[in-house]
């Protein structure tokens, strides 16, 4: 069986997916992630610091070993980078460092293309999607052949943590400012008509797992889970009521997400409020599946 590896180098984490193709569809064999915080120090200087480069290198070296165990050939190992890397003033040096250290070419994708990849990974046909990441949030409406709206907003969980660090101490003023920023940002999203939104990314899946009461992440349970507006608000309020250390004690919430998940919940809630969504369906399939679909020519899009 021919397998492929896809790595998403995000602002907060590096994620690995091993997958194969069955009857023209992507089937996931394995997924994992490592916290790399490429976005550390990006607010202001817009430079990827050396320690973040080292963390990314270590993750990629580990992912190459895992991929080899699954029988993935070198030419079938793909890696792309999103918000923090595309915004960094030293992105060329970052990519060269990883090429020299790991022998991996990094594909830096634009924000609008990231929206397209996320949509392709979770929706067949027409629909609407939003993807909350560490450095940006992507929104798309329409279909791959008829994109009605696709945009990457410069708002994300790590970016907010850097802007409002006192959120670690459950500072109400920090959360108030975060809510206001998200509300202002998503006021720009046009009406999607009767289309039902699909939420993807680490925030959406983490909130789904919390809503389900999972003590460990089970993708089959998360896939297709519906979060209502009321539950989104309740989950947001619960997370805001706790400090970072208290969030670490929440069953089923990875410690490495304890600082950023509260801002993800704020973004999630404010997005639903802005677009008038009474509920959102969560998908564990996202831009990794979408990227592989495009690389293998399984789908085409009008603007890819």
The residue out of 52, 76, 108 marking a domain boundary is 108
Looking at the fold, whether 134 and 219 belong to one and the same domain comes out as: yes
The token pair that represents 281 in the structure block: 């369906």
Q: Which residues contact 20 (CB under 8 A, 6 or more apart)?
A: 1, 2, 3, 4, 26, 27, 29
Residues 161 and 101 in one domain: no
Residue appearing with tokens 């970072």 = 244
pLDDT tens track, the chain, 304 positions? 999 999 999 999 999 999 999 998 999 999 999 999 998 877 778 899 999 999 999 999 999 999 999 999 999 999 999 999 999 999 999 999 999 999 999 999 999 999 999 999 999 999 999 999 999 999 999 999 999 999 999 999 999 999 999 999 999 999 999 999 999 999 989 998 888 999 999 999 999 999 999 998 999 999 999 999 999 999 999 999 999 999 999 988 988 899 999 999 999 999 999 999 999 999 999 999 999 999 999 887 655 5
- 101, 112, 220, 237 alpha-carbon torsion, rounded to 10°: 100
**Pairing of β 137-143 and β 197-200:** unpaired
Give me the sheet containing 25-35, strands edge to edge. 25-35, 13-22, 4-9, 77-81, 107-108
Pairing mode of beta strands 226-228, 279-282:
antiparallel
Write down the pTM of the prediction.
0.93
Is 287 among the domain residues?
Answer: no
Nearest by Cα to 114 from 289, 251, 287, 259? 287
pLDDT of residue 303: 57
In terms of residues, how long is the chain? 304
Q: Which of 47, 78, 108 is the last residue of a domain?
A: 108
We report the CATH number of the domain holding residue 35 as 3.30.420.40
Identify whether 137 is part of a domain.
Answer: yes
- For residue 41, what pLDDT is reported? 73
Asked whether residue 141 falls in the same domain as residue 189, the answer is yes
Residue 239 covered by a domain? yes
Please tell me the predicted confidence (pLDDT) of residue 154: 94
Question: Do residues 147 and 255 share a domain?
Answer: yes
Q: Which residues contact 160 (CB under 8 A, 6 or more apart)?
A: 167, 178, 181, 260, 263, 266, 267
Number of separate domains in the chain: 2
Q: Which domain holds residue 161?
A: 122-282
Q: How far is 196 from 194, CA to CA, in rounded Å?
A: 6
Tokens of 58: 């270590």
Is 113 within the bounds of a domain? no
For residue 267, the domain's CATH number is 3.30.420.150
Residues 207 and 182 in one domain: yes
What pLDDT does residue 17 have? Answer: 98
Task: Looking at the structure, tell me whether residues 268 and 206 fall in a common domain.
Answer: yes
């Amino acid at each position: 069986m021919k397998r492929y590896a896809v790595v998403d180098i995000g602002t907060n984490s590096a994620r690995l997916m091993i997958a194969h193709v069955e009857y023209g569809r992507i089937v996931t064999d394995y997924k994992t992630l490592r916290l790399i915080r490429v976005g550390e120090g990006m607010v202001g200087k817009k430079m990827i610091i050396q320690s973040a480069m080292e963390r990314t290198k270590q993750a990629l070296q580990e992912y190459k070993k895992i991929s080899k165990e699954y029988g993935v050939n070198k030419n079938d190992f793909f890696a792309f980078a999103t918000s923090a890397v595309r915004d960094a003033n030293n992105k060329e040096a970052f990519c060269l460092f990883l090429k020299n250290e790991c022998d991996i070419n990094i594909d830096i994708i634009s924000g609008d293309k990231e929206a397209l990849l996320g949509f392709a990974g979770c929706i067949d046909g027409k629909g609407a999607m939003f993807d909350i990441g560490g450095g940006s949030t992507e929104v798309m409406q329409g279909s791959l052949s008829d994109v009605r709206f696709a945009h990457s907003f410069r708002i994300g969980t790590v970016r907010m943590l850097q802007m409002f660090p006192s959120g670690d101490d459950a500072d109400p003023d920090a959360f108030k400012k975060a809510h206001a920023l998200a509300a202002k940002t998503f006021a720009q999203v046009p009406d999607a008509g009767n289309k039902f939104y699909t939420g993807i990314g680490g925030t959406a899946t983490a909130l789904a797992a919390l809503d389900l009461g999972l003590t460990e992440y089970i993708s089959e349970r998360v896939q297709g889970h519906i979060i209502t507006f009321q539950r989104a608000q309740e989950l947001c309020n619960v997370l805001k009521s706790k400090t970072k250390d208290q969030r670490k004690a929440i069953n089923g919430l990875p410690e490495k997400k304890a600082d950023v998940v509260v801002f993800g919940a704020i973004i999630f809630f404010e997005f639903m409020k802005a677009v008038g969504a009474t509920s959102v369906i969560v998908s564990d399939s996202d831009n990794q599946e979408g990227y592989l679909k495009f690389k293998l020519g399984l789908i085409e899009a009008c603007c890819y």
